[in-house]
Amino acid sequence: MKITYFLRGLGIGIIFSALILSVAFRSSDSSMTDEMVIERAKELGMVDAGDSDDELDKLLSKKEDTTKEESSEAQTSTEESSSEADTTKAASTEGQTTQAVTTEEATTQEKTEEAATTEAPKKKTPKTVSITISRGMYSELVSETLVSLGVIDDAASFNKYLNDNGYAGRLVVGTYKLTPGEDYDSIARKITGR
């Protein structure tokens, strides 16, 4: 067989296959419409920017409701401690007619009770805050949500901590209970399931 015939056949074969493939690719309309792209993104778990704002608004409204409930509880406990102090004062007034020493003891006892009632709210068990991480939430949004809930003070530093330690890509969908003032490592371990 001559080499020129071989090369001529090979060249013709390449040209025909190129023509056939170009016709095949032009006839198949593989372009996706915007609706198809959005639908496919939702299937993959991506969230529309407007949806994430709605979730943040829901979390912020829950935070406001929780704050209102806590303030009403604090008012109730303050009113209860005031009524206890009034009762103590009435008892000390009755005891004033007996002796001056009894009055001093009642006043001292009243001061200690008032101090105890003012210290009691300070020694409350730390409140817990719930955060829900939904599919498609990214570390920046989680950090901002934690700041809005009062768990952490600085979203940027927490987000940097998540990125530097490899937690940012490992957020696990779910609801978590966190305590305000908790350290970054503890929070990161909870929300990543480590």
pLDDT tens-digit series, residues 49-94 = 655 566 667 767 777 777 777 766 666 655 555 555 555 444 444 4
Tokens of 54: 């709605």
Domains in the chain, number: 2
pLDDT in tens, 138-164: 889 989 999 998 889 999 999 999 999
Has residue 35 got a pLDDT over 70? yes
Give me the CATH number covering residue 133.
3.30.1490.480
pLDDT in tens, 106-117: 455 555 555 555
| Residue 34 domain flag | no
Strand partners, 174: 133
3-state secondary structure of 150: coil
Do 99 and 145 have their domain in common?
no
Contact 145, 133 (CB under 8 A): no
Contact 188, 165 (CB under 8 A): yes
Domain of residue 116, residue span: 49-122
Tokens of 175: 């609801």
| Residue 57 domain flag | yes
3-state secondary structure of 129: strand
Instruction: Please state, rounded to an integer, the average pLDDT across all residues of the chain.
Output: 75
Tokens of 68: 């209102």
